[in-house]
Structure formats: C-alpha cells, structure tokens
Structure 1
C-alpha cells in the first residue's frame, strides 16, 4: 500500500510539472508572437510594405509573386479615389502639357580652347572607285579630342651684345642693357614665378610637394627654401637696402605668412 501511495504521489507531481511546463511554453509562444507582430509593424512603418528592405518572415517571396488581379484591384481603388469626386468642381482641374523628350546632343569643348586640325587622309587604294574614276573630296568626318601638353622646362641663356671700337678708343665699349624683370637679380623668369604663386596660393600646393614634383618629373633640384624666398621677394621689391631692412619683418609677418615653408611630414 505504501508503494502504491508513493507512486501515485509521484505521478501527480509529474502531471503538475507537465501542466506548468505547458503553461510556460504557451506563455512564451504568446510573448514571441506579440514581439514578432510589433517587429513587423515597426518594419512596415520604417520602410513600407513595398520597399526592398521589407521582407515578410512568414512569406518572404509573397511580394515577388503578387497576382496581377491584386494589382488591378489596387489600381482601380486608386482611380476610384479621384480628387474630382464629391462636390469638387471640374473647373479646378489643372491641365499639364505633354512632356516631350529632347534628343541628347553631343557637348563640345569650350569655345575659347585653341583648335588644331589634323587631316587624316584616305588610303590610295580607297581613292579609286570600282569603275576606275578618281574619287573627289566631299566633306570631313569631324571628331574632337581634348589634348594636354605637359609643361616644358628650359633654360634661357641671355647673350647681351658687347660692342667696341676697332681702333681701341677708351670708353667706347657698350653692352646691351639688361631686360626688365620683376626680380632683376633673380634666376627665374616671370612664368616660373607665376607658376609658384598660383600653385601655392590658388592650388593650395605646399612647397615641399612642388619640390618633389620638380625632382621626379623634371629631373632637377629646386629647394623649397628658394621657392619661399622668391615668392616673398615678389610682393613689393624695395628700392634701397634700408627699405629692405625695414620692410623685411613686415613682409614676413603679413605678406609672407601664406608663403612659408611647409615642412614635410
């Protein structure tokens, strides 16, 4: 009898535990379904039902195989919900002109760019017709290509003539005057000065970048210290040594502030 009672107690205890586990599983399932529903609502509100980012987990390919009847019904509903329904007058309608698609035209390059015409002749074999006659030039097939001419670095050697009297008269030796330059004692032409100023102030190129470009592309050394000193001297060259001594500090503080030597990192 004692054994039967213990077995019955164990069976009742197991049934109670089974009921509790079933209740817990049902509660978990309800909570999961509720969270899944909230997630769907949130996803639809963010992306929309027809967005590519929205995907129904229950039917992931439902939108791909949407029937044409559903689409027709949706289009009919949209047509039924017309803004001219109800008491609105048809006079409020706005007529829109039909849209005309313009043909795409080939854009040519800027008109101020110089043009250089290169004639490409036809081969001598194609200039003769099958009947034996010589073909005449009718027209040209035009096609434009943008060309780039790289900079050319050259050294200009100034040879000033020196003339003298063949009889050896004193004081009759004459030398041709020096041409006027921005920097009379400088070793650079105005084109190099303009290139340095534009590259530094307009193109925002530091002098150590220009130094590397001269070394790698042109093959000669142009120190950045020389570049900075040359650009600073181009501001307002002084007339006397005293003015240079007075203005040098002012130039370096104001005018030369944008032309300093940028150290390489």
Structure 2
C-alpha cells in the first residue's frame, strides 16, 4: 500500500473521528440540558414557597423536559449511527408506541431496492417477505365552500306559479359558517382551550380572514339556540339523589373601569358510574359574581337530591339548614382534600405522622378500587367489612396525635381539619352510592381552568354565562364519550330545522350516536 493510499485512509479516519466526537458532544449537551430542566422543575415544585410555580404552570416545564428528552434521543441515535454504521443503527430502535387505530385510513408506499438483480449474475431475485412499519401522518384541516343551489321551475304553457325549494335555516342567516364550522369553533375554545384570536390566526394561514369578534358572534348565536338543551340537563340534575358541587374563579372584565374582577364558575355534576347507576353523567356550569353560599343555594333551587358531595368550603354549610320537603342537604366531604394536606406536609417536612395518615387513607382507596363500578349493595358491604375498621381506628389515632404535638403546627391544623369534618368524611359508610371524594366534579371543572388560563378573562357577565353553558355541553359530551363537534353540529342543525320543543330529550348528549373515535 503506497503512501498516498495510507494518507487518504488516515484522513478518512480523522474525519470519522471528528464527526463522532461532534455527535457525542451534541448528545452530552442535550443530556446536560435535560438535567438542568429537571433540576429547575424540582426546585420550583418542592423548593421554597417563594420560588414555586402556580399549579397551572407545572405543565410548562414538563413540556420542556419532553422536548429536551427528544433532543437527547436524536443526538444519541445519531452518535450510534456514526459509531456502529448506518446499516444496523435502526434495528435496536424499532418500536411502536401503541397500536394505531384501525379506523384511520391507510396510505401505502412501497420502497423497492435500486436493483433486484442478483449481484452474482444469477438474474432477478424473488420476493421472500417484507418489513412493514406504520407511522402517524397528518393532512391539515381542509376548509371547503358549501355551495347551495335552489333551482326555480315554471310552466312553459302559462304564467302560473314558480316553484322553488325553501332556503334552509342557518344559525347565522346569510352568513359564512355552516353549523359544523360553528361547532368546531365552539369546541376549539371550550374543549381545546384555544381562544378566538388564536383560532383566527389558524384560519388566516389558510387565507380565511376572520376576526375574533366574528367567531364570538357565531358562538353566541349557537348559545341562544342551545339553551333549551342546558335547561333540560338541569332538570335531569334536579332529579338526582346525589350530586357533586365545586367552584373555581372566573375573571370578568368590569365595564367602565377597564379592570378585571373576580367571579366564579359553579359546577354541579352527577356521575353514577362508580356504583353502576343507570343515570347519564352530566356536568352543568353556572356563573356567579361571588362565592357566597347563597349562590349555591340559588343554583340548587328546586333540586330534589339528598346528598351533596363537596369540599370543606364553609359556604356550603348553609345548605344543611335549608327547609325543604326532602329535608336539608346532607354534605359528604372529600377524602382527597384531606389527603392532599398530608401529602404536602410530608413532602415539605418528612413528618412520619403525615406519612402514616397517607398510608391509612391509601388503604381506604385500595378498598374502593376493588368495588368500583359494582352495585351499591356490594360497595356498602365491602366498606362495612374493610373500611369501617380503618375509620374506627383512625379517629382516636388522630386525637392522640393532636394531644402530642404543638397546637400551632401545620400538622395540628390538618388533623383538626379532618376531625372537624369527620361526619361528612365518614358518611360513605352508610350508602353505597356515595364516593370518597369529589374527583368527578374536579375532573369536569379542570377544562374550565385551562380555558380561563388561555383566555385570561370573560368580556362581561353575560359572556361568562354563555361560556358556562357551552362548556357544560362540551364537558358532558366528553363524559359520555361523544364527539362534541359532531354532537353540536347535528344538534344545531336539528334545532334550526324545527325539532319540536317537546322532543328536546332526544337531543341530549348521552342519546347522541356514539363516536367511533374515543375522546381523550
């Protein structure tokens, strides 16, 4: 081998080494970036109170972690390709994160080798198999123009009447949108948390100029037509024996002052799936300018229920003193709220008493998991056999710990919180229909918080009421595994085209045809 060949080989190896070192450096930098983000996230979540993020911001550093992990994976894979060679680099990384749904259309492409002739000169090779991979692709949402023609007919022999089909009714008479587009706009805001101005930007990328006021007008018109649906949902809730209730803030612009004042969305929910009940899951939101218990009393006016599952907010206490034919409301308090107090304390102080309380509450939830979805009688029997002894031992244990610790400590405050609401916390032992917590309504109210975070505030109180109504329909659709876009589009079309008011029950979300695409 001559000197020139050796020199070329040395240069090639140097180039490969430099490339390898560069790839490894990129991988190391990505790793350091990921460690930095995780460290920041841990400090902001578990560090000093002044450094913590609000609970609604936790998803932001988590998204950064996921992006950084993707950079790290890509850098690592590139380094492996360079070190091991491209031919076998992909073999160890073949993976499919779950199965792609069968209902999605498949578009196949076949990648043939450059030549199918045998290198030995034997002729064309025979096909002996194939490798198949599936990847999720996307076709951007396609807007289209729906052209409606209404031919006119007249008799050629006389100058009599002209015949023409009536123009169909629309939510926006003479306007641009179909009911399907209006439904998409509503669900994008109240289900997917996209404010109108962001939606307008998305449509602008496809050459459609729509301002936020126009989109809001469309949603308002739909809200007018959908109000009978919400009224009927309220009648269903009024007939339920057991309800959940919770509230969350709703910033509303104060006209004339240019400032935002705090209102509240109140959520009333019914969900009997935990005890195999036949009633459909429903959630209905209401807006109120305050958080006083008088608003809860007003929203529950005419309701016939007996049990109300709530947190320990004192505003609900007035409901226990109401004079009703059914008697006052009986409050069932939430074990999840009590558990969160001890979890927070255990994280911050490593208190063994708090950790012991968490274990006892976890035992109650473990028992519940074994009977979830079964009949109330079975749930009640399991609770009396397994949960009641835990409850019987837990109260004196709380009282003993309280006598041994400082009365001014946070631990003492949390224990007193539990003992003060003991009657409401233990009522689940008397009725198999009751739940340990208010998670059904908290889960339903979470999208309201996300929409509020993105939209910042409602324009006025009427806007907040419309927000509550549309959010109620979208959330109830999701609870019933119904595609909310299809439901709202078809329901608007039915109402506009004269569906009788007496048949409003047929338009309830849970009666809508089930979507083949499950909601997340």
TM-score interval (norm. to shorter): 0.3 to 0.5
TM-score (norm 1): 0.44
Between Structure 1 and Structure 2, the one with more strand by share is: 2
TM-score by length of 2: 0.24
If each structure's helix is expressed as a fraction of its own residues, which one has the higher value? 2
